[in-house]
Amino acid sequence: MKIRFALTLLAVMTVAGCKPPAPPVNDDTLVSSTVNGVTLVHRHAVSAPGEFTPVNEPYRALYDASVMTTPDYGGKVVRYLENGKPCQVRGKVENEWLAIAEPDDTQLIGYVPMKAGVPSDRYEQTLRNDRPRPRRASKQVCVDVGGA
């Protein structure tokens, strides 16, 4: 009887020490990666960059841009960045791309080309400089051909 009780107690203690299995990893699972000494939190679907230079500034979109899972056009589109909408640029990454997050957030949502955004404090100036300028009336140059 004592042996049966001891074996039962041993079995219960063995099973009680087991950890439940980890939840399955899907595209929405949050992961963290450390690149160049900076820890980035992002969804599993978004690849960690190979190079990272911190910026941490508010930017605004200059045009409707695709937010990609990798810092190149070979990735998948995660969402779209709307023209004029703010975003937080976490840093510059390889291939001249920006790693972006939601405004006032640190979670990396994806990558956009560097030309897709401009720092918020330079947005209005950039738009003014990008407007077409009226052409000046050009001077006419007459050429004398055959005496006429």
- Spell out the residues 6+ positions from residue 63 whose beta carbon is closer than 8 angstroms to its own: 83, 116
pLDDT in the model for residue 147: 65
| pLDDT per position as a tens digit, 60-112 | 999 999 999 999 999 999 999 999 999 999 999 999 999 999 998 899 999 99
Q: How far apart are the first and last CA of the chain?
A: 129
pLDDT in the model for residue 80: 95
Angstrom distance (rounded) from CA 43 to CA 41:
7
Task: Give the DSSP letter of residue 132.
Answer: P
pLDDT at 148 over 60: no
Q: What is the pTM of this model?
A: 0.74
pLDDT in the model for residue 41: 95
3-state SS assignment for residue 88: strand
pLDDT in the model for residue 15: 65
pLDDT at 117 over 70: yes
| pLDDT per position as a tens digit, 3-59 | 887 778 767 667 666 667 777 888 889 999 999 999 999 999 999 999 999 999 999
pLDDT at 130 over 80: no
